[in-house]
A and B are shown apart, each in its own frame.
Chain A
Amino acid sequence: MAVRQRAAQRVEAGALPTSAVEVWRYSRIDSLDLGRFGQPMSAIPVALPPTPGSPAAHIVVRNGSVESIDISTAAAAQGLQVRSAAAVDEDLDGPGADGAQDADAFIDMALALSHDAVVVDVPANAVIDGTIVVVNILSASDALVATRLIVRLGVNSEAEVLERVVGADVASLLLPMAQVSLGDGARLRFVTVQELGARSWQLGYQHLVTGRDATLRSMNVALGGDYARVRTDAVITGTGGFNELLAVYFGEGTQMHDFRTLQNHIAPRTTSELLFKGAVEDMAQSVYSGLIRIGKDARGTVANQTNRNLLLSPGASAESVPNLEIENNDVKCSHASAVGPVDDDLRYYLELRGVPPEDAERLIVIGFFQDVLDRSPVKGLAEQLGQAVAAKFARRSA
């Protein structure tokens, strides 16, 4: 319990951040009133999202408690292990050495409050067929819920994890934490799709560690929530490690999606490719703030960061803040960011062909996301997500 206790002590000792702190700039942290939230009491029924054909495992977490774990016999035979940490009452390490790295009060809070964790272990050399699906449900009213997902891939193993964060229409706060580590030569495809209720808040944290010659392909999809934030720290610790970091987000009404990314290159000849694309309509807001950090030993590293945002209504806004911190000269880095409305020339071209402007804009918006969706690490999601994007666009108030 030491890790969680120390985290709890830090939470009690420290104050909550404000938007005066750079990493919380543009966020809605100032309107957070923690006193409003209590323990999760009764749960409102929530329809589970569709699961792919034959998942390797299906895990349901409801309001912070692991409810069920099903592992297919095939995946079990391939070596997949999934368990709930509360069941074995073990003291799991926090992210970094002790959860103390780059302090963030909400990481501590998530550590202290999550009483249950889903632990996915893929042993060395195991290749798991099918998707490991984790459904994370927030369905208790006015509750503060913390969840932990731990994914550990052994040397040269391979797996695919899909986390679906869903919820009822509740004014609750979810603190989802994911700790993912890839051993040398491991390959992981990791997608999180967030479809929380329109009144829910999320302050999420992902700690991704990629070892030598390992390949991580990850994607975050944010569709739901009132204010939904995800901080992603992706660190490559082994030579030749490769990270692909993708995101798709689409805000409507008064939603705000907030992404903070760190591409942290510690080892030589590492690569990270980041592409985050978002749209905002109505009065929605979005934030992307990203840092590429190249350590002094990370020679021969390639790191790219691209963030593009579409403004679909006059009242919508998006912030895009790229940053570089380089301590080695033998690297190739780039960052690009763009915020703007649908390009007149694109609409004009489709109109020239007789396409009405509303149809033209819908095609252009879906097309804007198409390259990211096509690269989705979990196949078979693209069509579903394309439809979700089209539905959002159709709801836009004129």
Chain B
Amino acid sequence: MSELVISGLRGGPDGKEILRGLDLVVRSGEVHALMGPNGSGKSTLSHVLMGRPGYEVTGGTVTLDGVDLLALPTWKRAQAGLFLGLQYPTEVPGVSLLDAMEASLRARAGGSSLPVPTMDEVAAMLLAEAERIGFDERFLIRPLNVGLSGGEKKRNETLQLGVLTPKFAVLDEIDSGLDVDALKAVSRRVMQSAQTDGLGVLAITHYNRLLDELRPDVVHVFVKGAIVASGGPELALELETTGYEPYARLAPDEPTPIGSGRPLLDPFADPFA
């Protein structure tokens, strides 16, 4: 049983504090859905968790089985077992999926007593995964994501998840751009990982469609950089009718901009005044 513990997490890109004190615990085999309005900071959360260049943590902690993830460089967070499927997967010219996965698995073996897999073994793993989610095998040797359609890129992210077998996966709108069949294949694949390999999932999504197959244990409503409500799967359905409007007032206050009109707190003032 593994545990990803996020507490009081604050931070964002270029010194902007988009996350405003986020608390969340995900355990092995659990599926959490994170839903929130555009621009509320969901993708920011994913990048702060992974340590994207230019993103800063201004407060809080993130641990995976007690290991302080925030102290590690991105690649070691990944090797520690945290996976991020990007909302907009990056095109990497000239680097094949095979090369990337081989380099990752080699690095993993280097840090343990695992045998280093051969190129052929990695290729076989990729082929097996591609088959499971109906991903065309010619993409395996083509440059990563280059020229792929939106939906193909999302399948590619899922394929990598299947090969790397992490402990936790943050999936940022893995459903966007997928056709009906692909959506089924992808969400089933993730659900299988959760059920049989104990993958813990944090699925960021705007749509209930995904959650038909990828059945969440918990649904979180995320507004202005923090979770403001959590509930069972019914919460996702409720959101369809209510929208996020009722949750807006629950959001944490805007941080005080430096030099704004609001007076600074006076430490000697009467606290009961």
Contacts and interface: CB of A to CB of B under 8 A. Distances in A.
Interface of A: 344-357, 359-360, 363-364, 366-371
B86 A354 contact: no
B107 A349 contact: no
Contacts of A360: 75, 103
A353 B93 contact: no
Contact of A353 (B52, B104, B143): B104
A359 B107 contact: yes
B94 A366 contact: yes
A347 B75 CA distance: 10
Most chain A C-beta atoms within 10 Å of own C-beta, residue among B83, B89, B99, B108: B99
11 contacts: A346-B90, A348-B90, A349-B92, A352-B86, A354-B107, A355-B100, A355-B103, A357-B73, A360-B103, A363-B103, A368-B93
Contacts, number: 84
B185 interface: no
B47 to A, nearest CB: 9
B142 to A, nearest CB: 11
8 closest pairs, A vs B, by CB? A367-B94, A370-B94, A354-B78, A349-B90, A354-B104, A351-B74, A367-B95, A351-B75
Contacts of A356: 75, 103, 107
Q: Is the interface of A mostly helix, strand, loop or mixed?
A: helix
A47 B124 CA distance: 40
Could you say which of A346, A364, A367 has the most chain B C-beta atoms within 10 Å of its C-beta?
A367
Interface in B110-167: 143-144, 160, 164
A387 to B, nearest CB: 14
A354 B108 contact: yes
B108 A369 contact: no
A354 B79 CA distance: 5
A367 to B, nearest CB: 3
Contacts of B90: 345-346, 348-349
A248 to B, nearest CB: 12
A366 B96 CA distance: 11
B54 A364 contact: no
Nearest to A367: B94
B158 to A, nearest CB: 13
Contacts of A348: 50, 52-53, 74, 90
Contacts of B100: 350, 353, 355, 363
A363 B92 CA distance: 10
Interface string B56-83: 0000000000000000011100110001
B101 interface: yes
Given A348-B90, A354-B75, A368-B94, 5 more contacts: A350-B92, A360-B75, A367-B94, A368-B93, A370-B94
B84 interface: yes
Contacts of A347: 53
Given A348-B52, A367-B143, A354 B164 contact: yes
Interface-central residue, B89, B95, B164, by most chain A CB under 10 Å = B95
Given A348-B52, A363-B103, A353 B94 contact: no
A344 B106 CA distance: 22
B94 A371 contact: yes
Between A352, A367, A371, the greatest number of chain B beta carbons within 10 A of the residue's beta carbon is seen for: A352
Contacts of B89: 349
A392 to B, nearest CB: 16
B104 A355 contact: yes
A344 B103 contact: no
A351 B52 CA distance: 9
Contacts of B54: 344
B78 A371 contact: no
B2 to A, nearest CB: 17
Nearest to A355: B103
Nearest to B101: A353
A320 B90 CA distance: 26
B93 to A, nearest CB: 5
A364 B86 CA distance: 19
Contacts of A351: 73-75, 78
B74 A367 contact: no
A370 B93 contact: yes
Nearest to B89: A349
User: Interface centre among B52, B89, B100, by most A CB within 10 Å?
Assistant: B100
A350 B74 CA distance: 9
Nearest to B95: A367
Interface in B36-63: 50, 52-54
B107 A355 contact: yes
A352 B78 contact: yes
Given A349-B86, A359-B107, A364-B92, A370 B143 contact: yes
A276 to B, nearest CB: 16
Contacts of B53: 344, 347-348
A71 B106 CA distance: 47
Contacts of A369: 94
A155 B148 CA distance: 42
A45 B114 CA distance: 47
Contacts of B79: 354
A349 B106 CA distance: 17
Contacts of B106: 359
Nearest to B81: A354
Contacts of A368: 93-94
Select the residue from A356, A357, A371 with max chain B CB neighbours within 10 A.
Answer: A356
A366 to B, nearest CB: 7
A370 B96 CA distance: 11
Contact of B160 (A346, A353, A364, A371): A353
